[in-house]
A and B are shown apart, each in its own frame.
Chain A
Amino acid sequence: MGKLRQQVSKWMMQNLDLPADVVMDLPRITMIGQLHIYIENHRGVKAFSNEQLKLKLKQGTLVISGREFVIKTILPEEILLEGSISSVEFENE
């Protein structure tokens, strides 16, 4: 069932010009240089330290690493992280 839904979503995205994050419930990530990273559609914080932020996603984990991290704002679906960001990685279980 899930697979079918995913396929439908993918088809809709490709053929109806709908934004992927809305259709497929994917995170939308906006970065401003190394200073800010803004993530929408996350599913909560897994781990947070000075150098690393792990965010739960619908599928897998987003790992952001860098230095001097501060979570400026956190809302149920949005997060604004400030610091010096060096890498953004996706981890799939």
Chain B
Amino acid sequence: MKNKWNNHLKGYVRIEIVGQESSSFINTCLQSGIQIWDIKPIDGKRVEVSISVPDVQRAKALLKQNKLKIRIKDKKGTPFLLKKMWKRNGFIMGMVSFVFILFLLSNMIWNINVVGANPKTEYELRKAAFEIGVKKGKFIFLLPNVREIQRQLTEKMGNVTWIGVTQHGTSYRFEVVEKEIPKEKKVTGPRHLVATKQAVIHSLFVEKGQPVVAANDYVKKGTLLVSGYIGKEKKPELVSAKGKVFGEVWYESKVEIPLNTSFQTYTGKFKNRHYVSLFGLNIPIYGFSDGEFQDKTETLNESPLYLAKWKMPFSYIKKEIRETDGVKRSYTKKEAIQVGKKMAKKELLKKLPVDAKIKGEKVWQQKVSNGKVKLTMLYQVIENIASEQPIPIQQGE
């Protein structure tokens, strides 16, 4: 068996020997140490024989002695295969260049992703990466390794804390953590604090400035609360007044609560039906019953398919059928007022700033008409009423 592979490797020829004395030829070959195999008689005169390439010349000499004719029928083995392949060298070149190009392309940068950076930083990062040589179409093996890139980029970029560089095949990914530079405090000019609305002062917390009002004072909108002038009366100093002034403010809100309402609620039972829509024709593919619900709502979800930017004439449709239930709710007058109060409070809290507190509430008016309870509520709210008012700086002072 070992011989066979050897012969394939070195190459062998299949020859036809024409003449009477084939058996004597076989014997002479054996005696002179020429290897022959696969001896196949075709008819009385002709024999087909395999013989290795280096032995062919010697065999030819022997055949001449025996007065036999020789005809080469086939050439087999690697040397001949290679020759044959060389004839189609374009094909081989194509194969080789394909592998080569594939190799090159798979070693190129195709994509650079930047994650976690704002547009400005991203632009700067891309520019810095470009300078290092990380750009589309560059060969990855010509670039420094990921760690080195990371180090260089972190050095170049001043306004980032950390850059993580990872390479996924042909794409690079930069993860950026930006430095958070604390905002500078606004330098505020000299100012007063004035009231934003009509209120009764509840309490004051003044950080800077000279309070002008005291607790339980009644103020109108625009009344000066905290003055920006401090110090002696003759030589006042200007400061930026700062502080909180809490005042009691009254709010009025009106609500209407119907005594009887009917709702539609979902019972939770549902059925899905799936369709494939072809040229506007809906073909059901799954789910064939409507669920036999008494009351139901149906929703259609169509998801069309796109090829590039063209909408395809087929789409997938999901139809959801939900069972609904009619519910009637009725309140007594007392209940309605309770609900109304809650609703009004909720509404009010939405409008108020976060630090406001509701101190008290009163039902101002209540009326029942047309099956509705109408409520007018009054709320006593404590909230910050101070707002800044800049002091114009006079020339020459």
Residues of A near any B CB (own CB < 8 A): 44-50, 54, 69-76
Contacts and interface: CB of A to CB of B under 8 A. Distances in A.
B30 A48 contact: no
B22 interface: yes
Contacts of A45: 23, 26-27
Contact of B26 (A50, A70, A74): A74
Contact of B30 (A49, A54, A70, A74): A74
B36 A47 contact: no
B39 interface: yes
Given A69-B41, A75-B30, A48 B22 contact: yes
A74 B37 contact: yes
Q: From DSSP, what is the main secondary structure of chain A's interface residues? A: strand
B23 A71 contact: no
Give chain B's interface secondary structure class. mixed
Nearest to A69: B41
Given A69-B40, A70-B38, 16 more contacts: A44-B26, A44-B27, A44-B30, A45-B23, A45-B27, A47-B23, A48-B23, A49-B44, A50-B43, A70-B40, A71-B37, A73-B37, A74-B29, A74-B30, A75-B30, A75-B35
The listed residue with most A CB atoms (<10 A of its CB), out of B26, B31, B35, B36, is B26
A46 B23 contact: yes
A72 B30 contact: no
B39 A70 contact: yes
A45 B36 CA distance: 13
Contacts of B3: 73
Interface in B8-48: 22-23, 26-27, 29-31, 35-41, 43-44, 47
B30 to A, nearest CB: 5
B325 to A, nearest CB: 84
Contacts of B44: 49
A56 B47 CA distance: 20
A24 B56 CA distance: 37
